Structure 1
Amino acid sequence: MSLVEISQHDEVIYSILDKPPPEPAKTPRYESKLERELKERKIPQLRLTFGYAETPLKTPDKFLRKGEGIGQPRKKSDHKCVVSSNLPPVPERPPPGKKPEKPKINFKVVNIKKAIKTKEKPVEPRLVDTRDGHIKKIKGSGEVPEYCLRPDFGKMPAYLVKRNRRIQRELEKIRHAEENRESLCKQVSEEERQKLLEDLKHNWQLMQKAFLQLPMLTDTIPKILKKTKMEQELRQLEKDIALIESNPFIYIYD
């Protein structure tokens, strides 16, 4: 393997890379010819401040005159009076100098009648329990029996009476439903009994025929299981037939 040693070279990497294109020159901004003249003519405004440190007083001859103050603004109404022919006529004014006659009332007689018809205020019973004249009302003090003299004393409260009535109505509904409910027990008619007996005997004949057709040799487990199952079904059919024949009246419960 050979190595080449380079001691002098003039290659520059920056000259190999592509330089970006130069940016386009910007167009000059528009400037008005009158802008300088307007700036020279402009009058500088005074700077705004918070006002006087102390408000200067007016001279005595500049007092507040009528109509110069700040008054209450008048309320403007949107109501418009519409003239109509259905309005009643304006009543005529009485002639000047004559006043309307007032009815003559004898207030003494009226007051006497009111005093006679007025009912006297019932005297509230009170009790003085100290020598200094301390007065307290007897009602609510516990000195006299009150609760036992109430009209509803010893009676059942109204809410319990309503509750008992509601319970009684519900019990009556349940009792009425039980009395009018159809019986769960139903008797089998003679025709149905004979039909059921015939069907059981027919099934027993079919099962007996199938049982007799079984092979004599039962040397496998499936044959043994099938024979045992058919024997159980035959016994059950014989029991059902004997039960129906021995009982002429049969009832069914749902």
Structure 2
Amino acid sequence: MSLVEIVHHDEVIYTILDKPPPEPPKTPRYESKLEKELKEAKRPQLHRTFGYAETPLHPPDKFLKKGKGIGQPIKESDHKCYVTGKLPPVPKRPPPGKRPEKPKVNFRVVNIKKAIKTKGKPVEPRLVDTRDGHTKKIKGSGEVPEYCLRPDFGQMPAYLVNRNRKIHKALEKMRIAEENKESLCKMISEQERQKLLDDLKYNWQLMQKAFLQLPMLTDTIPKILRKTKMEQELRQLEKDIALVESNPYIYIYE
């Protein structure tokens, strides 16, 4: 028989599972051996302090002079001009001569002549419609007739004239086309008329022969319908034969 020695008596079986499991140990972070050297290389060497305690000033004789400030950069060109002996000589300057004298003009006299010849501005007619002297222009006021004095008053508008001209042209074209149009009516010759009459008579004979071969007893609907249809066709053929025989001149429309 074995004995269990209990040292800590504060353990409770109901709270054993409530404790969270222990966290696994973290792996050490990777650190580069060159990290310190890179930081030293990137760190600027200047302005390592807060600045000057007192800002140094330029002496009075080194003031900002004209053309010494910050301006636009001058564009430098790489072009080089190589001078050769084949260039033409520089043209000589013409000798100095006397300038042509300007004609002396009396502008005062010229202005007086222009003022005399200038026509005065026409006075625009006005009317006074109140006792206080209120004036207004007569044109457009409605006091004098204007619309009836226009040159196009009482005349047909231009768009209607153009429209009527177009309509007349279209009607003239239609009239000319109708006059030059070939007639659709055609007269058949005597040989064609005789051939048509012979064909109608031949068809009538065939239809009459078929009609006479019908049974005498018509006791069913199909027999009645067939007999009625053949009678109508015979009657129509007789009318056509009579029409062709009674009219020696026959016209047909194509």
Deviations 1:62-102, CA, capped at 9 Å, x for gaps: 5323443123455789xx99x9x9x9x9573343xx54132
Unmatched segments (≥5 aa) in structure 1: 1-28
C-alpha separation between the residues in 1 aligned to 2:76 and 2:38?
Answer: 49
The aligned counterpart of 1:124 is: 123
- 132-141 or 38-47: which moved more? 38-47
Q: What SS does structure 1 have at the residue aligned with 2:241? A: helix
C-alpha separation between the residues in 2 aligned to 1:115 and 1:47?
Answer: 82
Question: Contact 2:188–2:250 at 8 Å: present in 1 too?
Answer: yes
Structure 1 segment 102-251 matched on structure 2, within 5 A: 102-108=101-107, 111=110, 115=114, 118-127=117-126, 129=128, 134-214=134-214, 222-223=222-223, 225-251=225-251
The aligned counterpart of 1:101 is: 100
Deviations 1:134-153, CA, capped at 9 Å, x for gaps: 55433333333222222111
Paired residue type of 1:154: G
C-alpha separation between the residues in 2 aligned to 1:40 and 1:165?
Answer: 97
C-alpha separation between the residues in 2 aligned to 1:234 and 1:36?
Answer: 123
C-alpha separation between the residues in 2 aligned to 1:165 and 1:242?
Answer: 54
C-alpha separation between the residues in 1 aligned to 2:39 and 2:186?
Answer: 125
The aligned counterpart of 2:12 is: none
C-alpha separation between the residues in 2 aligned to 1:74 and 1:172?
Answer: 82
Distance 1:209 1:145, change over 3 A: closer
Question: Contact 1:126–1:138 at 8 Å: present in 2 too?
Answer: yes
C-alpha separation between the residues in 2 aligned to 1:240 and 1:125?
Answer: 92
C-alpha separation between the residues in 1 aligned to 2:125 and 2:56?
Answer: 74
Say if 2:98 is the partner of 1:92: no
Paired residue type of 2:94: R
Distance 1:134 1:242, change over 3 A: closer
Q: What SS does structure 2 have at the residue aligned with 1:167? A: helix
Unmatched segments (≥5 aa) in structure 2: 1-29
Question: Contact 2:127–2:138 at 8 Å: present in 1 too?
Answer: no
Q: Percent identity?
A: 60
C-alpha separation between the residues in 2 aligned to 1:75 and 1:38?
Answer: 41
C-alpha separation between the residues in 1 aligned to 2:198 and 2:38?
Answer: 131
Question: Contact 1:126–1:135 at 8 Å: present in 2 too?
Answer: no
Deviations 1:21-68, CA, capped at 9 Å, x for gaps: xxxxxxxx9966xx488479769658989x99xx96845535323443
The aligned counterpart of 2:16 is: none
User: So what's the TM-score if we normalise by structure 1?
Assistant: 0.60
User: So what's the TM-score if we normalise by structure 2?
Assistant: 0.60
Distance 1:113 1:171, change over 3 A: farther
CA RMSD, aligned part only? 4.8
Question: Contact 2:185–2:252 at 8 Å: present in 1 too?
Answer: yes
Q: What SS does structure 1 have at the residue aligned with 2:126? A: strand
C-alpha separation between the residues in 2 aligned to 1:71 and 1:59?
Answer: 21
